[in-house]
A and B are shown apart, each in its own frame.
Chain A
Amino acid sequence: MVRTENVCRHYRMGGGVIRAVDGISLTIERGEFVALLGQSGSGKSTLLNLLAGLDRPTSGSVLVQNRDLAKMLLEDLAQYRRNDVGMVFQAFHLIPSMTITENVELPMRFAEVDRAERAQRVRQALEQVGLGHRFEHRPSELSGGEQQRASLARALANRPQLLLADEPTGNLDSRTGEDILNLIHDLSLSLGMTVVMVTHERALAERFAQRLIFLGDGKLLSQEALA
């Protein structure tokens, strides 16, 4: 499903070069739930952005379903983000002026899904994440956990095959965080989605992920498969 080959992402800053991701090669199978772990600045979020097609590698390749994101045009990358990837962020990143329904509907507007079908898919996605009663609320009227559920519903709207979660529990208390990961886990099983999650909470990662990948200084330090 996902394969990186010696992928690098270097930034020039001041006089020096920051090697945020430095020659990582890894493979993630279809339907797998993988956790990326590491200290701050280890390069996990940068790697996730490369997988999401939000950023481009300085060298190496990122292959998702045998398509090299490094060689894609900007417009194709946008289409890839729209149709093949769902993203969940630590800060939820819901648009505050829009209702939950409108937030979940937004990626479908970009994907040019018909209006009637959109309404049905919004309802379905919100029900899947247990927010069937919060359609017309604004993000500020929801708790952190509910906002993350809404953000997950938005990520699912275009039925992606790859779910990328950047510290999805970072802004939540441990119980709510667990609920969210339970939900992501269940959805990945029921929808057959591949999940790549960035986290620094090893205990949670061990409970839900099938494999742990440890990063440090932009390099892949080790991998640990879990039963």
Chain B
Amino acid sequence: MKSYDLLELAVRNLRQSKLRNALTTIGISVGVASLVAMLSLGVGLQQLATRRLAGSGMFDTVFVTSKQDFRGFDREDDQKTEHPEKAPVLDEPARERMAHLPYVTEVEPEVRVMGEVVYDSQTHFGFVTGLPMSARDNEAFDNLQGKFFSGPNVDEVILLNDFAKELEPNDPIHLIGQEVTLRYGERRALPADSDDRPQLSGAQSRSSDSTGGDDFGFSVVRKSQALKVVGIIQEEPYGGMRTVSRGRIFLPVDLTEKLSMAQFTDMRSSLRGGGGKTYITLTVRVKDPGKVAEVQDAINKMGFRTFSVLDATKSLRRFFTVLDLFLGIFGSLALAVATLAIINTLVMAVLERRREIGVMKAIGASDSDVKRLFFAEAGAMGFFGGVLGIGLGFAIGKAINVGTSIYMHRHQLPSEAVWILPPWLIGAAIAFSIVVSLLAGLYPASRAARLDPVQTLKYE
């Protein structure tokens, strides 16, 4: 029998016992709905956790240093590195290469300098930190008052709330939109020495051996920069290795580079001397926390030392796999009950339609035609149950989300979508529902196919 004839007959047969088949289909849909609701909850919770972790900025970041620097901190690493003096330095080409690695979204230097903010003719000391534009996604900015930097290289500043209170004890929010002056040390290359060789850090050429004679260096010059306060945050974003201290004044990282702010680590650069700009630390931002290890590997191969917080998403994924499994099992219970309903419905149908099956065989239906017909009926119930179940599951999920958001709101927390129905789950749930229904149809279908036409026609 052709497939469309099979389906047509199956749907026709299902319509014959409308109530019974509708109830069975609703049973399947409840099963599918509970499975979908549970698995979507698992997916939602996992995405929520991943989002929160990614928001902390801890798990999608690789810190890169040159093996020439910081020797002695990690003995094991030092022993592995045979010739640290030959290791590459973190210069502009290296930064470029890292930026072009797969999954890398951003490569920024870590900037932490001392500064002084002049406001209302008072000076206030604080550490200045450079922030890349991607920091906007950091959870520290969830409660940002005002707004984030309007561009990567603008004369704008964001202040830590504590610091803002220092400037304006009564009404720190009032600072937003105000202009402040930042005093900082500019790193300025030394003018050429009396001898003819170029000797300045940041100058043209470099003789790598520091055997003497080539006196590189820089001076630190006090400079002022007018900045507009655009925002105030409650806590400092996780920004790196925190080599110095908590930052309280945040500038776009490109602006700090443009202003050539002198850093503590510049001392190291000056010892190395030579031309081209070099970095002590680079912060590499990775698209997905799961890819951190891969990026770390690629950078290690380039000859640099890397550091990242252990990928917490790995153990998180393991946890959620187990959670999904259990949610799936609980969700499947209703579907298991529905499976029994399908078997019951079809066995009843076989009993009721004994004569019909006998007639069909007498006029030419093969055993496989009969079997396929019952399979098609089971499959059709599975399909309709699956579609209905998705709708029902979606409604349950929306209710979960609305309920959660009301609960979160009552606790003065921002609402979160804990239930997310991914598109793959829609297809998978319908397919699963069909497969389960077909499995449930196995016994009734083979029972129908085995019916002896002579017997069924004799006794009816």
A residues neighboring B (CB under 8 Å): 49, 52, 54-55, 74-75, 78-79, 81-83, 87, 89, 91, 93-95, 97-98, 106-107, 109-112, 154-155, 158
Contacts and interface: CB of A to CB of B under 8 A. Distances in A.
B356 interface: yes
B451 to A, nearest CB: 12
Contacts of A155: 363
A56 to B, nearest CB: 10
Contacts of A89: 362, 457
B77 to A, nearest CB: 72
A111 B367 CA distance: 14
Nearest to B369: A110
Interface string B378-399: 0000000000000000000000
Interface stretch (B1-9, B54-62, B270-278): B1-9
B8 to A, nearest CB: 8
Nearest to B364: A82
Report, nearest first, the 10 A-B pairs whose CB atoms are least far apart. Answer: A82-B364, A78-B366, A110-B364, A107-B363, A109-B5, A93-B359, A81-B364, A107-B364, A110-B365, A54-B453
Given A109-B1, A109-B9, A110-B1, A93 B365 contact: no
11 contacts: A54-B454, A55-B454, A74-B367, A75-B366, A75-B367, A78-B365, A79-B366, A81-B363, A95-B359, A97-B16, A110-B360
Given A49-B454, A112-B1, A78 B369 contact: yes
Contacts of A52: 362
A131 B5 CA distance: 25
Contacts of A95: 356, 359
Contacts of B453: 54
B3 to A, nearest CB: 10
A201 B276 CA distance: 116
A101 to B, nearest CB: 13
A108 to B, nearest CB: 9
A91 B457 CA distance: 9
Given A109-B1, A109-B5, A110-B1, A93 B355 contact: yes
A94 B359 CA distance: 8
Given A79-B364, A93-B362, A98-B12, 16 more contacts: A54-B362, A54-B454, A74-B366, A78-B361, A78-B367, A81-B361, A81-B362, A87-B362, A93-B355, A93-B358, A93-B359, A97-B12, A97-B16, A106-B363, A109-B2, A110-B364
B96 to A, nearest CB: 67
Contacts of B361: 54, 78, 81
Given A55-B454, A89-B457, A75 B9 contact: no
Taking each of A79, A93, A107, A111, which has the highest tally of chain B beta carbons within 10 Å of its own beta carbon?
A: A93
A102 to B, nearest CB: 8
Contacts of B358: 93
Interface in B320-379: 355-356, 358-369
Contacts of A79: 364, 366
B364 A83 contact: yes
A106 B366 contact: no
A20 B24 CA distance: 44
A65 B352 CA distance: 37
A78 B460 contact: no
Contacts of A54: 361-362, 453-454, 457
A111 B369 CA distance: 11
A94 B364 CA distance: 14
Contacts of B359: 93-95
A83 B365 CA distance: 11
Contacts of A49: 454
Nearest to B453: A54
Nearest to A155: B363
Contacts of A78: 361, 364-367, 369
Interface string B437-460: 000000000000000011001001
Interface string B1-35: 11001000100100010000000000000000000
Contacts of B12: 97-98
B408 to A, nearest CB: 55
A158 B364 contact: yes
Nearest to A95: B356
Nearest to A75: B366
Taking each of B16, B358, B359, which has the highest tally of chain A beta carbons within 10 Å of its own beta carbon?
A: B359
